[in-house]
Amino acid sequence: MSDAAAHAIEHPTTTGIDSRKVAIWTLIGSECLLFASLISTYLVYKGKSLVGPLPHTESQCMLHGKMQACEPIFSIPLVTFGTAVLLFSSFFVVLALYGAQKGNRKMLITWLSATVVCGLFFIGMQVYEFSHFYHEGLGYTTNLFASTFYTLTGFHGSHVTVGVIWLATLLVMAIRGKLPAGKSLNLEIAALYWHFVDVVWIVIFPVVYLMR
């Protein structure tokens, strides 16, 4: 599947860890700074929006062509549920990996499917949330809150999407029997990335949704 796969089979690495695994850890380290920049910007601009809608407070906003009072825009219960689903998906992918390593194909396919479904649910939730916000008058350029919020959560959402596609590809391979125990590393690497995406959300959720 990738360059180092063959390398790893032929030659032991210095650390004994597969190069692709080191690479994904490296990528994760780097991506921390990506999200740190996004989250910092969100925080720097918190409370600096010139018009509404705002996340936690009532505000004046332009809706249907006229200025009017509008409600705080966040729906915490929905996002909390989405967060829980994403967290569970991290748990499921661990089970799937366990299945893959043990050569238990049924377990692998079951839990990997569950992971993908959870990921899809999260994406669906975000699409629903965004379109709901849009109808409430919060376009991408409405105010600084909107721009920083959509950019931050949009970046995260696109990471989730990449993760779902990646895991779904592995699921297809598993169903076709092309993910034997010897190749479970392919799933392990995807799972590391998936955990990272979840962990980032665990930072975003309190910082963006809970912190007032």
CA–CA dist 106, 84 (Å, integer) = 25
Nearer to other proteins, 125 or 146 (CB): 146
CB of 64 to other proteins, least distance (A): 20
Other Cβ atoms less than 10 A from the Cβ of 156: the count is: 21
CB of 23 to other proteins, least distance (A): 5
Residues that bind other proteins (CB under 8 A): 1-7, 10-15, 17, 19, 22-23, 26-27, 29-31, 33-34, 36-38, 41, 44-45, 48-50, 140-141, 143-144, 147-148, 151
Q: Provide the 3-class DSSP secondary structure of residue 13.
A: coil
Nearer to other proteins, 76 or 172 (CB): 172
Q: How far is CA 186 from CA 8, 20, 23, 26, 100, in A?
A: 12, 9, 13, 16, 10
Nearest CA-CA partner of 166 in 105, 89, 104, 107: 89
Nearer to other proteins, 131 or 158 (CB): 158
Per the CB < 8 A criterion, the answer to whether 160 and 119 are in contact is: yes
CB of 185 to other proteins, least distance (A): 14
CB of 92 to other proteins, least distance (A): 24
